[in-house]
Chains A and B, each alone.
Chain A
Amino acid sequence: MAILKLHGGKQATCTRRVATVLHELQVPFELIEVDVANGAHKSPEYLKIQPFGQIPYIDDDGFLLYETRAICRYIAAKYPEYGLIPTEPKANALFEQAASVELTNFDPSASKAGLQLWIRKMGYPFPTDDKIIADNLETLEKKLDAYEAILSKQRYLAGETITLADIFHLPYGVFVTYAGSESDSVMNRASRPNVARWYKQLISRPSWLAYLDGVTTTTAY
């Protein structure tokens, strides 16, 4: 069986999300860099595989899949022993609730602010906008007040154990902190001690630390 191929970018945000989950599940993978700078992701050959012209996608021994959350769910389902997607019906429903919270209540503002903050930090030559960053961080602050209420009752978003729903908050959950300092940022405020606790647990996981300098082919764990 061929090694899983992750077609994406070493530093690309969504590629990093998939790599983090592959690492969590100890899945060997080969990073195949797509030459985005030269428009490789918009070529007719590429569009046959990923018709929206985006990275990443995976090639799992011939099975092709795109959309990072779909990719992560597929891999997590292959290795249920890690419990990243609980299977018991009510635990699964609470996981889906938390995964939907990430999608609808976190990602819209976190990805808008986070992407721009990441562009600035990396020094990429793309325009950024102070107002977009500020407005989205403001929205995010309010959403995280609800997170504080949830995380004051349980350790992780879906219950006492970590699931994909928590891990989906990477990497944008880290990028939004670039607007603050290590001791005080939107994810780490004294006024939201439970969010801070949960956030610190996420960023100390080996799967996040493994690719701080970018995603690399990982054949052994």
Chain B
Amino acid sequence: MVLKFYASQFVAAGNGIVALALAEKQAAFEFVPIDMAAKEHKTEEYIAMNPFAQVPAINDDGFAMYESRAICRYLDERFAGQGATLVPKGMEERAVVEQAISVESMAFAPPLAKVVMELVFKVRRGLAPDRALADEGMKEISNILDVYEVILAKHRYLAGDDFTLADLVHYAYAPMLAENGVDIMTVKERPNVARWWNELMSRPTWIKLKAEGMKSTV
């Protein structure tokens, strides 16, 4: 049975990074849309798949799992030998990838969430953004990106010269910034970050995913 990918239609957040990982691994899958507006993620049936009632989830011929970062790692093993290698095997190389993945969740994602909530989600819903919160978030992101600038001076991607899961997790929310007029990822004062981000945004798998949206390969 082909792998089932349960997610919302939006190419963002956990849905987006798993969709991108599926593309990177050239995996065959069936996309099963979960309509969050209709609270399909809160049904008893869905909660049986994910007790946290969150998307996405997968079912690989009876093997069910949730948590987008974990799914990406599983896909890397499951489709080993196909497409990009998301996590290298060498002990030290792997540790450096884990270090960078941890930085994204602990340092980059929280202030980004603040900024995306105020300057993207609220604006989209016609609500007034909290400018103070947004500015605070922008300052925090800027501080983190100043460190990324130092790291990216040493190698092409965050954990070395190859694209890895550490880079892939950054597709969850940061692409929304430029789409909504916030250019913090490409400011000229941080040329290495700009170089890296532009590479990520022009990655063929990402461009195709954004153009075609969530859809089954079969």
Contacts and interface: CB of A to CB of B under 8 A. Distances in A.
Interface of A: 51-52, 63, 65-71, 73-74, 77-78, 89-90, 92-94, 96-97, 99-101, 103-105, 108, 143, 146, 149-150
Interface in B5-32: none
Contacts of B189: none
A52 B107 contact: yes
B52 A101 contact: yes
B99 A96 contact: no
B150 A97 contact: no
Contact of B98 (A52, A70, A101, A105): A70
Interface in B42-78: 51-53, 63, 65-70, 73-74, 77-78
Interface residues of B, number: 32
Contacts of B144: 52
Interface of B: 51-53, 63, 65-70, 73-74, 77-78, 91-92, 94-96, 98-99, 101-103, 105-107, 110, 144, 147, 150-151
Nearest to B148: A51
A146 B102 contact: no
Given A51-B150, A67-B98, A101-B52, A94 B65 contact: yes
Given A65-B99, A97-B66, A105 B105 contact: no
B151 A51 contact: yes
B97 to A, nearest CB: 8
A14 to B, nearest CB: 10
Given A51-B151, A65-B96, A149-B51, A93 B65 contact: yes
Contact of A93 (B53, B63, B95): B63
A74 B95 CA distance: 6
A92 B78 CA distance: 11
Contacts of B151: 51
A73 B52 contact: no
A65 B101 CA distance: 13
A103 B77 contact: no
25 contacts: A51-B150, A52-B144, A52-B147, A63-B92, A65-B95, A65-B96, A67-B99, A67-B102, A69-B98, A70-B98, A74-B92, A77-B94, A78-B91, A89-B78, A90-B63, A93-B70, A94-B65, A97-B70, A100-B67, A101-B67, A103-B105, A104-B67, A143-B52, A146-B53, A150-B51
Contacts of A93: 63, 65, 70, 73-74, 77
Given A52-B147, A67-B106, A97 B67 contact: yes
Contacts of A101: 52, 67
A221 B144 CA distance: 39
Contacts of B107: 52
Nearest to B106: A67
Given A52-B103, A105-B52, A146-B52, A92 B94 contact: no
Given A89-B77, A96-B69, A67 B103 contact: yes
